Structure 1
Amino acid sequence: MEVQKLQAQQSIFSKILLSTIFAVMTGAAAQIKIPLPFSPVPVTGQTLVVLLSPLLIGRLSGVSQIIYVLVGIAGMPWFAGFKGGLSIVIGPTGGYLIGFVIASFVLGSIFEQKNRSSTSTLLWLAFANFGIIYAVGLLQLYWWFAIKGSHLTLIKLLSMGAIPFIPGDLTKILLAAGIYSIYKKLK
């Protein structure tokens, strides 16, 4: 009986450690930042980690993103541009951060169930990125501008928060799928 308790404790510890490692990786990837002069949303490397971690660690990736967001809210300067605090999460880019959490849990749940084909993997990654992260990000971006008294047209909203990011995100999706394919072969 003691062995089972020890194994359970080790399992919990390893899950917390793995989630923390991916939270740190997200924070590091956030520092790969390219500001866009026409948008408050920068190009960052975060989405690669957000999309890859569910493929490798399942639902724990959602926990890693919760850790990332909560520790960032607490003041750790690991949001894009070495920033931290609640103001980032309630600001123009906060919806993307919330989208990271949701997308990680959704993808993690799907990929915990069974291995997926390469085509299926690409489709799920695209859905998580464009369907979840973009949707939540664009909603908050629109809300943020509305609170400031500026109502964006759909075209303006998409040109600030989606269209410029599509080529980079497609690259990250392909990279995450490629790494996952190699991981499956080595497993």
Structure 2
Amino acid sequence: MNMENYYSTRKNVFERIQDASTATKLLMSLMMACFTGLMAQIIIPLPWTPVPITAQTFAVLCSGLLLGKKYGCLSQILYVVLGVAFIPWFGGMTGGIDVFLGSTGGFFIGFIIASYFIGLITERYAKARNFTRMAIIIGIANFGLIYIPGLAGLALWMSSQGMAFTFIDVLMMGLVPFIVGDIVKILGAASVSKVFLPKD
């Protein structure tokens, strides 16, 4: 396949996703929720924090890129709601309201917000779909929109458990151990944008 055909195919696939029926988009949202649940099972527990390293953030970041603001956001709402209701697809094959209200609950809220934000930028600004710009946008979503509610939720949970902690403690438990891995996931998602999304 020459480059002209590649660009044409990429644009056609993107437009077909954008123009798909509501039923098809709902199905794609459900599939992305399943992908998020699958990636959540790639897990590395850390002994000093209840927040594990998982690969699910990569799926969250890609959901907005591939499905846009509305259906990317919906995929993460489905992931959270179905995980709370009856599907044990949170990290470590867990689920239920107790997990949502636990140490990682704030991150679930961040997933929904970040997916919407990335989808919004992807839909509105075609020039933002190149690698460098998208890496910056995804980095903002990851470290701002996911971690702010995530760390707030972690702090609330620690307080509810009667734990004495400082702001530095929260950062060491909920942010610092994940920075390197998150950078890898951000660059991976930016690569998805570069390869699969049209730039016009």
Provide the alpha-carbon RMSD of the alignment: 1.5
Q: State the Cα distance separating 1:119 from its structure 2 match.
A: 2.1
Query: Secondary structure of 1:141's partner?
Result: helix
TM value normalised by structure 2? 0.86
Which residues of structure 1 form unaligned runs of 5+?
Answer: 1-9
Q: Name the residue aligned to 2:140.
A: 127
Q: Name the residue aligned to 2:93.
A: 82
1:29 maps to a residue whose letter is M
Within 2, Cα distance between the matches of 1:66 and 1:181? 26
Q: 2:30 aligns with which of 8, 20, 33?
A: 20
Q: Name the residue aligned to 1:6.
A: none
Checking the alignment, whether the CA contact within 8 Å between 1:142 and 1:151 is kept in structure 2 is no
Q: State the Cα distance separating 1:17 from its structure 2 match.
A: 0.4
Q: Name the residue aligned to 1:139.
A: 152
Q: 1:92 aligns with which of 89, 93, 103?
A: 103
Q: State the Cα distance separating 1:133 from its structure 2 match.
A: 0.5
Which residues of structure 2 form unaligned runs of 5+?
Answer: 1-19
Query: Secondary structure of 1:36's partner?
Result: coil
Within 2, Cα distance between the matches of 1:185 and 1:136? 32
Q: State the Cα distance separating 1:34 from its structure 2 match.
A: 0.5
Q: Name the residue aligned to 2:161.
A: 148
Between the two proteins, what is the percent identity of the paired residues? 44
Which consecutive segments of 4 or more residues in structure 1 shift more than 6 A?
A: none
Within 1, Cα distance between the matches of 2:199 and 2:42? 28
1:18 maps to a residue whose letter is M
Checking the alignment, whether the CA contact within 8 Å between 2:131 and 2:193 is kept in structure 1 is no
What count of residue pairs does the alignment treat as equivalent? 178
1:121 maps to a residue whose letter is M
Q: Does 1:71 align with 2:87?
A: no
